Amino acid sequence: MGDRRLFRPKWVLTPDGIREGASVLVEDNRITAVLDAGADLSGIDAEVVELADQLLMPGLVNTHTHVGAGPVGRGISEDYPLPDGMPFYVPLSRLWRWAYQERFRESFRAVMEWDTLGMLRSGTTTIVNHASTDIHGYLDIAARSGIRTWTGPTIPLDVTHRLGQLDRTAGDGSAERPDSISGDKQNSELAELEEMFATWDGAADGRIRMLLGPAAVHTDEFSVLQGVAEAAQRLDCLVTTHLCQAPGELAETQRKYGTTPLRVLERAGLADDRLIAAHATYLPVEDYELAASSGITIAHCASRKAKEALTSPFQVFRDAGIKVSLGTDGFSCDMVEELTLATTLGKIATGRLHTPASAEVLEIATAGGGRALHRPDLGVIEAGALADLVGISLADAATWPVFDPIQTVALYASGRDVRLVVVDGEIRVRDGAVVGTDIAALRAAADTALQEIWSTAVDEGLLTEVLPSTSRRNGAVPCPTS
């Protein structure tokens, strides 16, 4: 008999709904039973984990993020007046390229680990990391931290080409791409990624899976997209990309291919159920039928788009039969907060109080992520499922007393309420603290790394265009205005 634990929360979230007073028995890395309230537990030989006033729910599945990118860019360009149609990330491209230099490689790994553990600490048990830099560093972190992940480097990895730079002369939001990355270079990166599969795919007892990650239709050569499709079939792996994230992307794609991004993916052989497509904010309505029939999953990132003054489509995709999952994108690490924003912004977008319902959003953030990853044993609490679990305390003033745990979690909790995280049967967060990690030391190391990156970037003039005059980096202290 392997390691056994009996988790005893106040509520358990199962596929059939809330079961108050139930207990969950885990052996090794699998759930073996969900026991009703009143069941005789005296004969069970297992470590008992009491979770008073907590909801035990499936681990959250973050289907789109870029580990390490968010801490670099947070709180810099959110108030910047973007040209119409330009995505938020373009003004930060030079900063990210600076941060991803070899000179910062070792120190930047502390930032990546800080970001990863921030996700773990706030209830994410599975990360789909569309890696922006240092994939080897991230893989080492994932192996040590205990997180479950699907990951692969973005193709092309060159951030300036991938994101572009500010071009105020373009009237359609297009970005300038001064560094042309040839198809040969992109295909070379794809070949290198394929070689990594032999080492890393299935590593850490299966917690680490590799995937293929072309950046987007408008930045990758068509031959590369075709190569990704062929490799995905050969390697039997998933693919992730960005889709219809901004008007400029559609304009560039139209000029290059004469059609929409999803139609290009279809031509390349990528529009199928292996594909997780981030955002799709500007997916043309005429492409909804293709998105539904092809089986792609759209990773909805509510918080990221809200910071661009947008309510990215969510319920309309579901109504059209398109599969949807949740992601944070790079700037947030809190998937519980993402539940709240996906729910509230979704209601604003529909103008209906009941759509989307809290239970639907929570299901999409858990089992929906499992479906996107072709893992029906992820994101559910039932016998035979993987033991990826999260305990959220609802005893705080913002959440207690509790009438409906599902609505309470989806609308009033945050990642700071997470007390327990279990991944693959192992307790990784206990009593709100990451097990076996000196968080204070890691926090200090991440801060030291970013302070150096920011200071040198400012000295180089890389942020002159985006820093507001009130920024402390310009020597002024922001003051409220009357």
Average pLDDT rounded to a whole number, residues 46-62:
98
More confident residue, 310 or 443: 443
The letter for the amino acid at 63 is T
User: How many other C-beta atoms are found inside a 10 Å radius of the C-beta of residue 366?
Assistant: 28
Distance CA 419, CA 426 (A): 14
The letter for the amino acid at 384 is G
Average pLDDT rounded to a whole number, residues 171-177:
55
CB 224 within 8 A of CB 190: yes
Q: What is the pLDDT of residue 166?
A: 52
Distance CA 335, CA 58 (A): 12
More confident residue, 75 or 445: 445
- Of 70, 71, 68, 75, give the one whose Cα is nearest residue 472: 75
Q: Using one digit for the tens of pLDDT, what is the confidence trace for 192-205?
A: 888 899 999 999 99
pTM: 0.93
Residues of the chain within CATH 3.20.20.140 domain(s) are 60-377
Average pLDDT rounded to a whole number, residues 87-102:
86
CB 315 within 8 A of CB 282: no
Does residue 167 have a pLDDT over 70? Answer: no
Q: What is the pLDDT of residue 468?
A: 63
Average pLDDT rounded to a whole number, residues 11-34:
97
CB 49 within 8 A of CB 7: yes
User: How many other C-beta atoms are found inside a 10 Å radius of the C-beta of residue 467?
Assistant: 17
The domain defined by 60-377 carries CATH number 3.20.20.140: yes
The letter for the amino acid at 7 is F
- The CATH classification number of 1-58+379-437 equals 2.30.40.10
Q: What is the pLDDT of residue 409?
A: 97
Q: Using one digit for the tens of pLDDT, what is the confidence trace for 339-350?
A: 999 999 999 999
Average pLDDT, the chain: 90
Token duo for residue 242: 């960005």
Q: What is the pLDDT of residue 479?
A: 42
Q: What is the pLDDT of residue 182?
A: 60
Does residue 85 have a pLDDT over 80? Answer: no
Distance CA 163, CA 91 (A): 9
CB 175 within 8 A of CB 166: yes
DSSP character string of 52-110? EEEEEEEPEEEEEE-TTHHHHHTTTSTT--PPTT--TTGGGHHHHHHHTSGGGHHHHHH
Q: At what angle do helices 105-121 and 135-145 cross, to 10 degrees?
A: 40
Q: What is the pLDDT of residue 78?
A: 80
- Residue 401's pLDDT band, with cuts at 50, 70 and 90, is very high
Please tell me the least confidently modeled range out of 36-45, 229-238, 265-274, 378-387: 36-45
Does residue 174 have a pLDDT over 70? Answer: no
- Residue 181's pLDDT band, with cuts at 50, 70 and 90, is low
CB 381 within 8 A of CB 16: no
- Residue 175's pLDDT band, with cuts at 50, 70 and 90, is low
Residues of the chain within CATH 2.30.40.10 domain(s) are 1-58+379-437
Q: At what angle do helices 405-412 and 358-365 cross, to 10 degrees?
A: 70
Does residue 176 have a pLDDT over 70? Answer: no
Q: What is the pLDDT of residue 84?
A: 72
DSSP character string of 241-253? EEES-SHHHHHHH
Please list the residues that pair with 310 across neighbouring strands.
none
Q: What is the pLDDT of residue 472?
A: 59
- Residue 456's pLDDT band, with cuts at 50, 70 and 90, is very high
CB 181 within 8 A of CB 255: no
Question: For the chain, what is the radius of gyration of the CA atoms?
Answer: 22
Q: Using one digit for the tens of pLDDT, what is the confidence trace for 245-290?
A: 988 889 989 999 999 999 999 999 999 999 999 999 999 999 999 9
More confident residue, 54 or 80: 54
Q: What is the pLDDT of residue 478?
A: 43
Please list the residues that pair with 214 across neighbouring strands.
155
- Of 338, 262, 249, 281, give the one whose Cα is nearest residue 70: 338
* Count of H-run helices and E-run strands, the chain: 17, 18
User: How many other C-beta atoms are found inside a 10 Å radius of the C-beta of residue 118?
Assistant: 20
Residue for token digits 């679990």? 389
Q: What is the pLDDT of residue 76?
A: 87
Q: What is the pLDDT of residue 420?
A: 98
Does residue 80 have a pLDDT over 50? Answer: yes
Distance CA 187, CA 180 (A): 14
DSSP character string of 327-368? ---SS---HHHHHHHHHHHHHHHHT-TTSS-HHHHHHHHTHH
Q: What is the pLDDT of residue 443?
A: 97
Distance CA 105, CA 85 (A): 33
The letter for the amino acid at 323 is K
Does residue 114 have a pLDDT over 70? Answer: yes
DSSP assignment, residue 474? G
CB 245 within 8 A of CB 279: yes
